[in-house]
Each structure stands twice: as structure tokens, then as C-alpha cells.
Structure 1
Amino acid sequence: MRVADKEAPIHIKQTGKEPDTADRKHPSYPEKSKKKKNNGKKQSFFRKLAGVLHLWLGLISGIVIIIVALTGAIYAFQPELTDAFQPYQFVEKAAGPMLPVSKIRSIAENQLPGKTVSRITFSGAERSAGVSFNKKKEGYYYMVYINPYNGKVLKVKDMDRDFFRQVLNGHMHLWLPDPVGHYIVIYAALVFGLIIISGIVLWWPKKWNKSARKQGFSIKLNASPKRLNYDLHNVLGFYASWVMIFVVFTGLVWGFDAVRNAEYWVFSGGKKYPAKEKVATVKPPRQQHAFDGDPLDRIDAQVRERYNIGIGRTQFLFPSGEKGKGNLTVRYFPEQKRSFNADYLVFDPYTAVMLPAGVRGKYADADGGDKANRLNYDIHTGAIGGLPLRMVIFLAALVTASLPVTGFYIWWGKRKKK
């Protein structure tokens, strides 16, 4: 029997037609009575809790999520954009060997007198050597790019004015001072993890019939603005969640030692994460004074005996302690755009004696926990799957940035209705 016009929902009054099944199920569709809306069944406590968490956590953290997601999406293509717009990253391969590390260091120090080198990176046979001067306490960060074959200075760059440096600062710290920005971001990531879980709970259909599948997996493009906004939030949010859950987890591994230790424990078969102080307590042997010449060149020679620095990336990380105290670490990455399979070597910077690696050593010797920890960066950025996966993460990050906006619009519409 047809419903009387005065009692019919606005959908019927305007069109004269019964709405389709998906529109009836949509939250904005007006119901006749409370009894019919719930079909005599109360919503479960678990689903109610998920709804409350999803709403209020989303409202509280929305701005932070938008900033972190958008900056992450931009940074996903940092390698390609850097290569395209920074020609000083490249050099012509020469017939002879690359200059020793001590020579590269000396050339860079002449460009920035009084400043301390923190890292030197060889990025392959056809790329410039990058010398980093990065001291947070003293408030400076510069990069000097040098041709590794002839020593020509190609670029001296203030990294505080670098576009991608600012994007990364926004992603990691919201452009706020440390540690304030860092803590806001990592706790927002924790909150976003809860939002993802509660969102999946709310999305999950009570019955897996044809109508529920259609509404849950597809967007009705010719629907009303309210319905379209709901679909964009509900459907796109569901798809993005399965990507972002891995991005969020890997971010939490960096943010919280407890998460990192738990990951190591699970994948190592119950082992504790190694103590960081292990390397510092190792004393070099008595024959430490047997080497002649610059210890840095001796370290360089040992590295080149083991690896071809014309392939992949080789980084020399200088001691960051007061008055140069500490060990020198060398990281060799066999690939340009992936980091998980690197080898770590530790040296005494004054004697060139190789020391036990401690927490992280050669990739071939790593256990399951160490390999899992190493994979975090490549999973977080999508580098583990190359350009196709980074494109997926880029799209998922864009969707994530839109979710607080579409979610707010849904909440505001219901609030106005009430």
C-alpha cells in the first residue's frame, strides 16, 4: 500500500519514486520511527564504543592528521623530484677512482669554516658526494655537493631553505620545536591507529548481502551531495585503511621504544632488543697504533676493500659527542632507494680499528628481529615495493588527508539535523 504524501520522506515527495535500497540504509535517510530504525534490536556496546572513539578522536586529531598525511604524500616522490630539479646531484663518471674521504672532507670544510662535518655520502659512480654539516644545538644544517673525481664544489646549500626539508619537518614535527612537535605527531599517529580500527568496525556490514556489499565497496557518483560525501568517507576510508595501518605501525616503531622492542621480540623469537651502549664499552686492542697516515683514509681503504662504493650508497657518520668523542659508523646500502639491507661497520676514529657492531651490523648476520626493524623505513615510505607501492601510499595518504574533512561534514550535517 502506498504511503500518504504527507507522511512520505522528502525523497518521495520530490521525485514521486521510492528510494533505492542503498539510500534507505544511508544514515541521512529520514526514518518513520525509532522502532523501525533499530528493527527492535539494540546496537552492540562494542559498535557504540567504536562510534564514540571514531567521532571524538577524529575531531580532536583532524588537523594534525591532515598535515602529516599531506606532507607524507608529497614526500613520497622526493627521490624523483629531487633528481629532476637538482642537477648538482649528478656528475659524469670518470676513469679514475673517487677521491679519498679525507680529501672530500677537507674541501667541504674550506667552504664552511668553523662548522663540523657530521656525514659524508657517496651515492654511486654518477652522483656527487654529499657532505652534511648538521648540528641541532648550534642551529645549522648545510650540505656541500662535490664532484668525487676532481673535487669541484657543485653546490653549497642551506638545508633550512630546502623544500623537501621543510616538508619533512612538517611531517615529523609540524614545524614546531623539538620535542613538542615530535610528541604531538607520534601520539596523533597512535590516535589515528585507533581511528582506523574503529572505522573498520563501523564500516563492517551486519549482513553480507548484495546491497551491503555494493554500499560498502562502491561509490554512488550520481547521489546527493550528502550521500556522495558519506561514500567518499566510508568507501575510500576503508580502502586506504589497509595501507595506512602499516604506515602508522611503522611510524609508531620509531616513536615508541616499547613498540620497537615488541616488534623485535616477536620477530626474533622472544629476544630482547640489544642495548645501545654495547659498542661504547668495547675497548680497541693494543695494536691500535700500528697504522700510519690519516685514520680516516685507513677506514676508507678498509671500506673500499669490502664494497664497491660506485654502486649503491656509502655513508661515513662522524662522532657526534662532545669534542669528537665516540665511534665512526659506516653504512653501506647496496641499493639507491632502499635501506633495509644495509651493512653497518663501526670504527675507532683515531686508530681505524674496526669494532664490534653492537645493535646493528651486517645484514647477512641480522636475526629476524633486526630485519623487521630494518624494514620499517622502507615499508613506511613504500620504497620496499619501488615506485608502484610509493604511488599506492601517495594515494592512500591523499585519501587520509580528506577523511577529517568528509567526516566533519557528516558530523556537522547530523548535528544540524538534530
Structure 2
Amino acid sequence: MKRTSKRFRLLLAVHKYLGLATGIIVLLVSLTGAAWVFKEEIEPLYEPEFVFEPAAEAELLSASRARELGQAVFPEHAIHGTLFEGTTAPVEVIFYQVEPRFYQSVFLHPTTGEILHTKDHLSGFFAWALLGHMYLWLPMDVGSMIVKYGILVFLFIIVSGLLIWLPGRVKRLRKNLSFRWKPTTGWRRKNFDLHSIVGVYIYVFAFLFAFTGSVIGLPWFYYATYKVLGGSGDPSFVIPENVSAGRTAAADDAAIPYDRLVPRLMREEPDARSFELHYPYSETSSVYVEIERGEGTFYRNDYRYFDQYTLEEIPSPGVYAKYADADFAKFVMRLNYDVHIGAIGGIPGKVIAFLASLVIASLPVTGFVMWYGRRKKGKKRPPAAVRPTTYAEEEPIKRDKLAKEEYRV
């Protein structure tokens, strides 16, 4: 595509005006994304820390007892699940509901059940940053749509930017990927280089963050990506139903079956970091446990489902089941969030994600400056008419030029 063609000019115009329309969205989402990256590393520095000496005879608090104690603190709200990390760390009862919006945790002593601490996940700096990242601090319904489709448009802007940069550049690739500034280089040229050259260097990260963000935010985009990857079946989070007929007479007199589940899984998975048990939401639904394996990442987590009465394990056809059973499409979908925040590369990956997000935030700024600078330049006053010189004024000038030419010879 030649730079003088109509298609190129059209692409340039679309890139420019879509960039102007979504620039503030990209700027705010990138900055708040950078702020979120190190949440897991920073929060423990200022939150209360509880570490308990393991007691030989003390038993871990049961799931049903933890539910009872947590519900007593927030009786009007729904429990999302309970997180167990053994007898040396608190048991966390997690409350979450969308309407009315509520997201808090109650921390209990792992053996006695004493209430240690409550945490509001919707307050503090990181909660504020996440609200900006997902909703731009607007009402949820409005902000969510603006961010989701604003980032989807940004995907097109990224691709169009590369197509605009490519013509005539491949042959002079090294030259066009370096800053060749001189003391006389104007600010407009420097700003143009910061937008185009930096944009090329950051292209892969910008595309990855925008793409993985669209997978998280747009269900239809998530489904389409899964199908393109060759996935089959239902890619959503599927909680299977019980396989047994229901509660038996013997079960009515016995202890709650899922109280035995976490201790059993701890024996089976001694290297796991934590076990988050999710209570059955009805008499026919299964109980499931999320087993966290990798510190700081989520893609290797296991999601195991059990009949709430017999504890028979039930396979799930969804993406979120046993990690070992994931095919290629499910594996890639599991990687999505860890790629989005850079956790897939550990601390170095998060550093790259943090710096890349800051650089991406600069692109709408330099793009706006380019547009504003050209707009302002186009409105300059025409130069004043130059008075023609007379013969008497022009003759000495000609003689002076002739003398210089003779001197050179």
C-alpha cells in the first residue's frame, strides 16, 4: 500500500480519529493497569500479618464451622467461598455479590475460629485503581461498556498504526527504529518519533494487553477466541450437578460431608499453596475446590468438583477443571489473565508489564500533540507580502554574488 494511495490516506484518517476518540480511555486504563500489576507484592507490606505455630493435636477449622462464623459477621450477604492454607495461616471467608455490590473477607483463627480481622476489598488504593481500570470510575453499566469497546477499538488502532508505519520502512528498518535527533531537531519531529518509533517497539505488548483484556471483558470475544484456537464444548465456567440422588437417611445423621473435603485434598496435594472451597448453591449442585499451585500465577490451578453428599469427584467439561486435562485451547485460555498482568513471567514479567503500560499510556498523548500541532500549524497567518526590490537595490546584490563566484573559482 503506497503512501500516496487513497486507501493509505483513509487508513491514516481512521487511525487518527479513532485514536482521538479513545485516547483518554487508553491513557486511564493503561495507567491504572500499571498501578494494579504489583498488587500481590505490595498489599502484604501494610496489611495485618498472622502466623501461627502449628499445633500437633489441633484440627483445622471445618468448612461448615467457618461458614457459620463468617456468616455471623455479615448475615445479610452471600458467601463466595472459604480459603484454607493449613493450620499456620488464617482461614479467609470471602463474601462477594454484585447487587448490592459487596466484597469483603473475614479472617478466622485456623483452629479456634476466633475472628482476627475483616477486609474490605472495595476500599483502598488498589480497589480505586481497579474501578478506574474496569469502569473509569463511572457507574458500572456505563463505564464497563466504554472500557470494553474502547479497548476493542484500540486493538484496531494498534494494527492500523503498524500498517501506517510499514510502507517504505522495511528496507530502512534499522534507520527507522532509532532516534536520529540533532541539536536542531524540532519538538514536532521529536514528538513524531516518540509516537511512531516507540509505538513499534511496544507493539507486541500493546496488542497482548488489549487482546487479553478483550477476552476478559467481552464474552463473545472470549467464546470466539476459544473456537479459533480449536476448542470444543462449552468454554464457560461449568459447575456440574450432583451425581447422587440426594441426601440419604444415613447422611442426615452424619457430619456435613464436605467438611472432610479440604483435609483430604491437603493430604493428596501437600505442595499446593491454598484450597478455596465453594459451597453448593443448591441441593443438587456440586461443591468445588480451587487448588492454587503456582505462587503469583493462576493458570496451573486445579478446579475439582465433588458430589456434596458422597464426595464422589465429578469431571467438568469447562475450561476450568483439572490443569492436567487441559487441551491446547483450554491451556491458552487459562494463560489469559496471567499474560494480561505479566505474572506469566514472574517478577521480571511484571516489571515489563508495568513499564510497557506506562509507555502505552504515552501513545495517546503524543498522538494528540501531533494532531494539535498540525492543526495549530495549519492556522498560521500567511506571511506578509514582500515589497519588490528596485533596480538600484538589486544591482549591488548581483555584483556581490558575482564577486563571490569569482572568488570561489
Q: Normalising to structure 1: TM-score of the pair?
A: 0.79
* Counterpart for residue 151 of structure 2: 189
* Counterpart for residue 305 of structure 2: 346
CA distance in 2, matches of 1:134, 1:79: 19
Change (3 A) 1:186 1:123: farther
CA distance in 1, matches of 2:3, 2:322: 57
CA contact (8 A) 1:219 1:235 kept: no
Change (3 A) 1:125 1:383: farther
* Counterpart for residue 213 of structure 2: 251
CA contact (8 A) 2:30 2:360 kept: yes
CA distance in 2, matches of 1:159, 1:276: 23
CA distance in 2, matches of 1:53, 1:123: 52
Partner secondary structure for residue 244 of structure 1: helix
Offset of 1:61 from its aligned partner? 0.7
C-alpha deviations, 1:29-55, integer Å up to 9, x for none?
Answer: xxxxxxxxxxxx861344323311211
CA contact (8 A) 1:263 1:372 kept: no
Q: Percent identity?
A: 34
Structure 1 unaligned blocks of 5 or more: 1-40
CA distance in 2, matches of 1:249, 1:274: 17
* Counterpart for residue 402 of structure 2: none
Q: What is the letter of the counterpart of residue 373 of structure 2?
A: G
**1:57 and 2:18 are equivalent in the alignment:** yes
CA contact (8 A) 1:313 1:336 kept: no
Q: What is the letter of the counterpart of residue 56 of structure 1?
A: Y
Provide the aligned length of Structure 1 versus Structure 2: 371
CA contact (8 A) 1:315 1:332 kept: yes
Partner secondary structure for residue 140 of structure 2: coil
Structure 2 unaligned blocks of 5 or more: 379-409
Once superposed, what is the RMSD of the aligned Cα atoms? 2.8
CA contact (8 A) 1:91 1:147 kept: no
CA contact (8 A) 1:216 1:234 kept: no
CA distance in 2, matches of 1:117, 1:369: 31
CA contact (8 A) 2:37 2:353 kept: yes
* Counterpart for residue 140 of structure 2: 178
**1:410 and 2:374 are equivalent in the alignment:** no
* Counterpart for residue 35 of structure 2: 74
CA contact (8 A) 1:147 1:153 kept: yes
CA distance in 2, matches of 1:213, 1:404: 25
Offset of 1:378 from its aligned partner? 0.8
CA distance in 1, matches of 2:60, 2:16: 58
* Counterpart for residue 355 of structure 2: 395
C-alpha deviations, 1:53-83, integer Å up to 9, x for none?
Answer: 2111111111111111111000011111112
- For 1:131-150, what aligned pairs fall within 5 Å after superposition? 131-150=93-112
* Counterpart for residue 235 of structure 1: 197
C-alpha deviations, 1:299-353, integer Å up to 9, x for none?
Answer: 3344334323x7422211234x5x7874332110112211111111123445544
Offset of 1:404 from its aligned partner? 1.1
Match of 1:313 among 263, 270, 274: 274
Larger deviation: 97-106 or 169-178? Answer: 97-106
* Counterpart for residue 66 of structure 2: 104
Change (3 A) 1:216 1:274: closer
Give 1 or 2 for the bigger CA radius of gyration: 2
**1:225 and 2:187 are equivalent in the alignment:** yes
**1:367 and 2:316 are equivalent in the alignment:** no
Partner secondary structure for residue 179 of structure 1: helix
Q: Normalising to structure 2: TM-score of the pair?
A: 0.81
Offset of 1:161 from its aligned partner? 1.6
**1:265 and 2:224 are equivalent in the alignment:** no
